[in-house]
Chain A
Amino acid sequence: MQTYDLAEKGLRGLNSILHAQDEETNQTSWEVVNPRGSHAIAVGLDAPLEVIVKGSTGYYCAGMNQGATITVEGSAGPGVAENMMSGSVVVEGDASQYAGATGHGGLLVIKGNASSRCGISMKGIDIVVHGNVGHMSAFMAQAGNLVVCGDAGDALGDSIYEARLFVRGSVKSLGADCVEKEMRPEHVDILKGLLDRADLHARPEEFRRYGSARKLYNFDVDNVADY
Chain B
Amino acid sequence: MCGIVGLFLKDKELEPKLGEMLTQMLTTMSDRGPDSAGIAIYGRGKRGKAKLTVQSDQPDQDLGDLAPELGQAIGTEVGIRRVDTHAVLELAAAKVHAARKAVRELRPGIRVMSDGEVIEIYKEVGLPKDVADRFDLSRMEGTHGIGHTRMATESAVTTEGAHPYSTGADQCLVHNGSLSNHNDLRRKLMRKGARIESMNDTEVGAAYLTWKMQNGASLGEALDSSLEDLDGFFTFVVGTKDGFGVLRDPIACKPAVMGETSQYVAFGSEYRALVSLPGIEDASVWEPEPATVYFWSH
Interface residues of A (CB under 8 A from B): 36-38, 56, 58-59, 75, 77-78, 93-94, 96-97, 115-116, 134-135
Contact = CB atoms under 8 A, between A and B. Distances in A.
B271 interface: yes
A58 B272 contact: yes
B252 A36 contact: no
A37 B274 CA distance: 9
Contacts of A36: 272, 275
B255 A38 contact: no
B287 interface: yes
A97 B253 CA distance: 8
B287 A96 contact: yes
B255 A37 contact: no
Nearest to B255: A78
Contacts of B285: 56, 75, 93-94
Given A36-B275, A37-B275, A94 B270 contact: no
Nearest to A136: B251
A93 B287 CA distance: 12
B75 interface: no
A75 B271 contact: yes
Interface in B249-292: 252-253, 255, 257, 270-275, 285-287, 290
B290 A56 contact: no
A152 to B, nearest CB: 14
Contact of A77 (B252, B270, B286, B290): B270
A37 B269 CA distance: 11
Contact of B286 (A59, A94, A116): A94
Nearest to B28: A37
A37 B287 contact: no
A37 B272 contact: yes
A37 B270 contact: yes
